[in-house]
Chains A and B, each alone.
Chain A
Amino acid sequence: MKEIVIISGKGGTGKSSICAAIAYLAKAELVVADCDVDAADLHLILHPENSKVQDFYSGVLAEIDPGKCSACGLCYQKCRFDAIEPFEGTYRVIDLECEGCGYCYYICPEDAISLIDQNVGKFLISDTRYGCSLVHAHLKIGADNSGKLVAKVKSEAKAIAKVQDKPYILADGSPGIGCPVIASLAGADYVILVTESSKSGLSDLKRVQELVAKFQIPSACIVNKADINPSVTNDIHKYLNKSKVQHLGDIPYADDFHKAIAMGRSLIEENEARWLPIFTEYWQTIKENI
């Protein structure tokens, strides 16, 4: 079973649309994992149903029991995050600021502080209208987006792929270069980088490819909106060549991308004549190179 991860560094490059198109094409062969837990969008195209939902816990928040608190103020003095404030004669924790370091819990002389496990989101396993399963998650706002939820999404996707005997997992990765992206890349067999023809696109592509290279995972790149700036597209091609990243193809700017999303469907369903041959070729190349 092989894991394919699609990432982009920069937002708005068309990564999720491309992921949905591949999911549509190869639906019989794969399980989809939406690892963009901060802003999970794939469900708008895949329309999940029959979801099994689980609460997801990560980290802790401190809580002060006013009944036990002697108002000595030690926690208030020591907290480095300004997360404790005086309140009605004792002290209380400001949830938004609390980092869950436990310092106050360790030092409270009255044992008035507890560390409470935080419910930071939901984790879902769903059927989709394509017939393949979708594993996805929603992180609560302001939550610490660590690798833990992403790792869980991928791990569940792997378990399902095993049970359903599917040879591939297709993961829609997180933007940026932080922990969620690292967790998206951790078990990958193949990475597809989606970039766009702009200076910002090239700059972000380089930063994210640095990460991929660290993990020594083979990667390939699709340049979207490639005709917007032929000179930058050329620079991107040169960069891919120099960095030994395979060039999967260039996609010219196409209204189909938003038309398809607006209709809640994949590119191939929106305009089969145009997109089926392109993605068939991409999928073929991906399978040959994994």
Chain B
Amino acid sequence: MRIIFTSTGEGWDAKIDPRFGRTDYIVLYDEEKDELTALDNRAIMQVAHGAGPKTAQKIHELKADVLITGNGPGGNAASILKQMPLKIFVRAGGMSVREAYDAYKNNALEPGV
């Protein structure tokens, strides 16, 4: 599975970014290849409106299966994410990427609406 985390940094120890649309980094973990890559999303701060959909578009390009974030995505982003075969998990805010991944594997995260 390809798992996306909204993150404040680039590695396993970075803290999850509780926001979706304006998240600082998009971290992708490919379970099959055991590869962790990070995309710098900070240019999104220049966007006045539509940050959520823009970030959702990036997630789509990355062909993610799972999205792990802090709070749920906002209305605009959610309407885009609904078009993808993506499972969303929330309440990972405050955890590191690694801790969030473990929580996900242990079914300790909440599904996003």
Whether chains A and B associate is: yes
A residues within 8 Å of B by Cβ? 2-3, 58-59, 144, 146-148, 151-152, 155, 179, 182-183, 185-189, 214-217
Residues of chain B with a CB closer than 8 A to A147's CB: 22, 48-49, 51
Which residue of chain B has its CB nearest to the CB of A218? Answer: B91
The contact sample of 14 A-B pairs, CB cut-off 8 A, is: A58-B48, A144-B48, A151-B45, A151-B51, A155-B22, A179-B49, A185-B71, A187-B71, A214-B78, A214-B113, A215-B71, A216-B90, A216-B112, A217-B71
A-B CB contacts (within 8 Å), total count: 63
Whose C-beta in chain A lies nearest to the C-beta of B51?
A: A147
CA distance A186 to B19 in the complex (A): 5
Q: A148-B48, A216-B91 are in contact. List 18 more A-B contacts (CB 8 A).
A: A58-B48, A146-B48, A147-B48, A147-B51, A148-B47, A151-B51, A186-B20, A186-B22, A187-B18, A187-B22, A187-B71, A189-B94, A214-B72, A214-B75, A216-B72, A216-B110, A216-B112, A217-B71
Which secondary structure dominates where chain B touches chain A? Answer: loop
Q: How far is the CA of A187 from the CA of B15 in the complex (A)?
A: 13
When each residue 60-96 of chain B gets 1 if its CB lies under 8 Å from chain A and 0 otherwise, what string results? Answer: 0000000000111011001000000000001101100
Closest to A2 in B: B94
* Shortest distance between the CB of B64 and any CB in chain A (Å): 20
Which chain B residue shows the least CB distance to A217? B71
A185 to B70, alpha carbons, bound, how many Å? 12
Contact across chains for B22 and A151 when beta carbons are under 8 A apart: yes
A183: nearest chain-B partner, CB-CB? B22
Q: Closest residue to B22 on the A side, CB-wise?
A: A151
Name the A residues within 8 Å of B113 (CB-CB).
Answer: 214, 216
Complexed CA–CA distance, A2 and B71 (Å): 13
Whether B74 and A186, one on each chain, are in contact in the complex, defined by CB atoms closer than 8 angstroms, is yes
A120 to chain B, nearest CB (A): 9
The 7 A-B pairs of least Cβ separation, nearest first, read: A146-B48, A148-B48, A187-B19, A186-B19, A215-B71, A187-B18, A58-B48
